[in-house]
Amino acid sequence: MLSPIEQLAQAFNCAERVLIITGAGLSADSGLPTYRGVGGLYNSNTNDGVPIEVALSGPMLQRDPALCWKYLAELGRACLGAQPNQGHEVIAQLQRLKPHCWLLTQNIDGFHRAAGSPDERLIEIHGQLAPLYCQSCGQKDDDLARRLAAALPPLCRRCAGVMRPPVVLFEEMLPEKAIHTLYEQLGEGFDLVLAIGTSASFPYIVEPVLRARAIGAFTAEINPARTDLSDRVDLYIAGRALDVLPELLSHISVNRICKSSP
């Protein structure tokens, strides 16, 4: 009788096309706060009396840039002060083992890239924290750390417009290229879809899992707390990414002959 982690390893061993979906919970093991769920900063309202989805929204950046930037800066400082963990490294290793292993992340911390996940198979659906750019004239600024240590909101040196990071705020459009790549790859189908450390709050995170399951792919979730996905995947593993992923890797051997092989 295989353990749940061994079952997942077997599914990975046998899969050709794999999609790994990650959320803030993966970086929680690097000490970054999540929004919701276990260790969530904003399971209720922010200190400013509005939900995080309102504070970190496109309309709020226009209406009250200082308030929006207060939370952007909180996230930015946390990211600059932390590093990828073994979970990010295991995922990069899984991608090295499988040339058709894709990664869809909601994280804006850049840790997947830093841990070695290949750019050409990484979809950062919520953008990245840097470089900041001016909303009025487009002027860029690479020095996020210096800007976060100075007065907020950061203003453009050329035209005094409000600077912003290339992240997708709540109520903003997703980056066209990322969406295009995601749906192109979904169109080709996946044999295994694995969601790690996400509260699965967005349809474009839930849909790839359900679509894959509908065509007979194996679907799994790793999260210490149950989410809307937990009852809809083939295998739910209750645990922290940092505990589960290294053990998963220890059971992976891509050269193994699969039971389901002809």
Cβ-closest position to ligand NAD: 25
Residue found under tokens 């990650």 = 22
Contact letters for Zn ion, residues 151-190 (x by CB under 5 A): -----x-xx-x-----------------------------
Say how far apart CA 255 and CA 14 lie, in whole Å: 9
Q: What is the dihedral of CA 197, 142, 114, 177, to 10 degrees?
A: 60
Binding test (CB under 5 A) with Zn ion, winner from 7, 86, 128, 136: 136
The residue annotated as part of the active site, out of 112, 126, 180, 251, is 126
Choose from Zn ion, ligand NAD, none: what does 197 bind? Cβ within 5-8 Å by kind.
ligand NAD
Closest CA to 129 of 149, 109, 143: 109
Choose from ligand NAD, Zn ion, none: what does 139 bind? Cβ within 5-8 Å by kind.
Zn ion
Nearer to ligand NAD, 9 or 196 (CB): 196
Binding stretches for ligand NAD (CB under 6 A): 23-25, 27-29, 32, 34-40, 106-109, 126, 197-199, 201, 222-225, 227, 240-242
Query: Going edge to edge, which strands form the sheet with 140-141?
Result: 140-141, 132-134, 163-164
Give how far Cα 26 sits from Cα of 8, 78, 113, Å.
18, 14, 14
Give catalytic status of residue 126 as yes or no. Answer: yes
Nearer to ligand NAD, 32 or 217 (CB): 32
Could you tell me whether strands 132-134 and 163-164 are parallel, antiparallel, or unpaired per DSSP bridges? antiparallel
Residues β-bridged to residue 162: 155
* Least distance in angstroms from the C-beta of 30 to ligand NAD: 8
Could you tell me whether strands 235-237 and 140-141 are parallel, antiparallel, or unpaired per DSSP bridges? unpaired
Active-site positions read 126
Q: Which residues sit at the interface with Zn ion, rule CB under 5 A?
A: 134, 136-137, 139, 156, 158-159, 161
